[in-house]
Amino acid sequence: MPDRSDSLTRHEKYREAIRAGREAFNAGDFAAAILWFNQAIDLMPLEEAGYLWRGRAFFSQNQYAEALADFRKAVQRQPDESLHWYWQGRANFQLRQWEAARRDLSRAIALAPENDMPYYWRGCTHMQQKKLAEAQADLDAAIHRNNQNSDYFQTRGMVAMSRGQYAAAVQDFGQVIALAPNAAAFYWRGRSYFRQQALAEAVADLSQAVIWQPQNADHYFWRGRAQYDLHDYTAALRNFDQAMALRPGNSNDQLWRGIARYRLGYLPAALADLTRAYELAPGDPLRCAWLGRAYLALDDPGRAAAEFKKVAVRLGEDGQPAYIVAAGYAAHGDLARTSIWLRLALNRTPHLLASLAQDPDFDPVRAAEPYQSLLDEFAAPA
C-alpha cells in the first residue's frame, strides 16, 4: 500500500509539519517542535511561519540568540506583521539589547496599536533604560487595553515606587492582590506602606508575605523595620533574628538586630551585633555611629569618641558636624552633651547651633569650642 505522504504536495507537507510542530509546542515538547519546524523550513524556506514558531520554541528553551535569528527571518519575510516584531523585541530584551528591543516593540505597536503586550514589554524596556516616565506611560496603555493582567499592575507598581509615588504603588499592588494574590504583591505593598509611614498597614501586609513565603528573609527584615518604627522593639528583634537565621552573615540584619537590642537595653549583645555589622560592611558611617552609641551607653567614652570620629571623617565636608562635636564631648566624658549632639546628628537636624540655642541650659561658647578644635584634630583619617 503506497505511503500517503508520497501523494501530498510540498505545501500540504509544510502545513502538516507546522501543525505537528505547534501541537508539540503546545504540549511543552519544544525539542520535538523544533524538529518539526526544521522540516517545515526545509520544505518552504520562503514562508515565515516556520521561522516564527521555531524561534518561539528556541525562546521557550532560553536559547535567545537562536530565537532572535529566526525572528529576524520571519520579519524579513513578512515585515508588516506586528507579531514578528513583537517576538524579535522580546528576544532582544532577553539578550539585554534594550534599544533594539525598544525599536522592535515600537514597530509592533505601530502595526497593531490595539494589542496590550507590546506596550507592556516596551514599558519593561524603558524601565531597564531608567526611563521611568516613559515606562509608566506604556504600562498605563497596556492596562487600558487589558485590566485583568496582574503582571501589568505589579510592574506599574514597581515603577511608581521607583518614582516615589507610594500611594499609586499601593493602589497597583492592591489590584494585583485582587486579581492574583501572591507573596511579592503583599511584600511590595507593605514596603510602599512603610515608605508612607503607614506602619500598621505595612506590618499587616508583610505578615501576609511571611505566610505566603516563610523562607524569604526580606519579609521578616522589613516587618521588623516596621515594628521597630512602631517602637515594638521586642517584635522587631524576633523578626531580625528570623532574617538572620535564613541568611547568616547579612550586614543589615546584623545591624538592625543590634539596634533593636540597644533599644531593649541588651547592651553587650547589641555591641556584639553592631561590631559584627561593621566588620561585614567596614567604613559605613551608620554602623560607626551606632557603635559609638553602644560604647557611650556602656560608659566607654573613649571608644565612643573614636567611632564618632570615623563618622565625621567618612562623611567629609558634607557630613554632619554634630558628629565631631559629639566625639569631642565623648572623649572628655561629657555623656549628657554627647547624647545631645549625637541625637541631632542622627536626626539630621539642620541649624544645629540654632536648635540648641532654644535650650536654656545650652552654652554656645562651650559648644563652639570643641567644634572648632576637633575639625583640625579629626582631619586625619581614623
pLDDT at 346: 60
With a cut of 60, say whether residue 80 has pLDDT above it: yes
DSSP states along 346-365: HTT-SSHHHHHHTSTT--HH
**Does residue 46 fall inside a structural domain?**
no
pLDDT at 81: 98
Average pLDDT of the chain is: 87
**Does residue 302 fall inside a structural domain?**
yes
**Does residue 370 fall inside a structural domain?**
yes
Pair 162, 168: CB distance under 8 Å: no
Pair 52, 84: CB distance under 8 Å: yes
Instruction: Give the cell for residue 346.
Output: 542622627
The C-alpha atoms of residue 243 and residue 221 are separated, in whole angstroms, by: 6
Helix axes 10-26, 49-60, angle to 10 degrees: 20
Q: Which residue has the higher pLDDT, 375 or 220?
A: 220
Q: Which residues of 35-72 are buried (b: 16+ CB within 10 A; e: fewer)?
A: bbbebbbebbeebbbbbbbbbbbbbeeebbebbbebbb
The C-alpha atoms of residue 285 and residue 308 are separated, in whole angstroms, by: 9
**How many Å separate Cα 103 from the centre of its chain?**
26
Q: Which residue has the higher pLDDT, 322 or 28?
A: 28
**Does residue 231 fall inside a structural domain?**
no
The C-alpha atoms of residue 105 and residue 82 are separated, in whole angstroms, by: 9
Q: Which residue has the higher pLDDT, 61 or 352?
A: 61
**How many Å separate Cα 300 from the centre of its chain?**
39
Classify residue 382 as exposed, middle or buried by CB count within 10 Å of its CB (0-12, 13-18, 19+): middle
pLDDT digits (tens, 9 = 90+) for 353-365: 444 444 444 454 4
The C-alpha atoms of residue 190 and residue 207 are separated, in whole angstroms, by: 9
With a cut of 90, say whether residue 63 has pLDDT above it: yes
Query: Which range marks the domain in which residue 382 is found?
Result: 283-382
pLDDT band per the 50, 70, 90 thresholds, residue 381: very low
The C-alpha atoms of residue 316 and residue 324 are separated, in whole angstroms, by: 11
Which of 84-88, 248-252, 285-289 holds the top average pLDDT? 84-88
**Does residue 337 fall inside a structural domain?**
yes
**Does residue 165 fall inside a structural domain?**
no
pLDDT at 348: 52
Torsion of CA 96, 97, 99, 100, to 10 degrees: -140
Domain count, the chain: 1
**Does residue 127 fall inside a structural domain?**
no
Average pLDDT estimate for 78-97: 98
**Does residue 289 fall inside a structural domain?**
yes
